[in-house]
Amino acid sequence: MGICIIIPAYNADNSITAVVEELLQFNIPLLVVDDGSTDTTAARVERLPANLLRHRANQGKGAALKSGFAWALQHGFAGVVTIDADGQHDISAIPLLIATARGRGCDILLASRYAQFEQMAGLRRWWNRFGAWCMRKLTGFDISDSQSGFRYYSARLLRGVSLVANGYHLEMEVLLKAWRGGYQVGSVPVAARVADGRATSHYRPVRDTWQICMTFLRYM
């Protein structure tokens, strides 16, 4: 089969409808993984022609992604594009991401926000720059943004690595396991959209950055 799109979502009722409706224009199978939301996220998705999985309790972005990956493999998809639920990814770049991944033979292709790092909050800006530099030094991957949630993953990679993390650090874990496994990883520049006030970020700068750092250090 072809490609599917996965959106991990938690308390995203301010943005999820617009994100899903825009994604539907591509006629690509779409799955929203509601990670134990306490708002109307799931109810909004249920009104739309999209697939929905629900966690009874909030487990973390990584747990939502793992549920989505398992669903994609069970349904025989050849690859997955992940999009955050906050509406800040440039959805129009999905065809570029898929075509570039296939053209380069990438198992992971990240949509890099490198040009916009200066607009990020202090600790997150520092980590994105430093984390990408460390990743290049350790792995040799030609990537400039190691934490973008806008990504392409091949089914070959998802079948070949065993993922453990439940939080934001899963996105670091999968890169490092791809490196250890000899998979092809790259990036392509895709500017993020300017926040419009509807989106809510659940990233905890200190705790989540610490978990990402510790995940990286375990593989050095």
Domains annotated for the chain, with CATH where assigned, are: 3-218 (3.90.550.10)
Is it the case that residue 200 has pLDDT exceeding 70?
Answer: no
Residue that the structure tokens 């292709």 belong to: 109
Quick: pLDDT tens for 130-188.
667 677 777 778 777 778 899 999 999 999 999 999 988 899 899 999 999 999 999 99
- The residue type found at 213 is C
Q: By the 8 A CB rule, do 51 and 32 touch? A: yes
Please tell me the predicted confidence (pLDDT) of residue 156: 98
Quick: pLDDT tens for 157-172.
999 999 999 988 899 8
d(CA 212, CA 60): 14
Mean pLDDT of the chain: 86
Is it the case that residue 205 has pLDDT exceeding 70?
Answer: no
d(CA 115, CA 125): 11
d(CA 131, CA 127): 5
d(CA 123, CA 127): 6
Quick: pLDDT tens for 1-23.
799 999 999 999 999 999 999 99
Average pLDDT over residues 56-75: 97
Q: In Å, what is the CA distance from 9 to each residue of 53, 69, 79, 124, 139?
A: 10, 14, 20, 20, 30
Please tell me the predicted confidence (pLDDT) of residue 147: 80
Please tell me the predicted confidence (pLDDT) of residue 118: 46
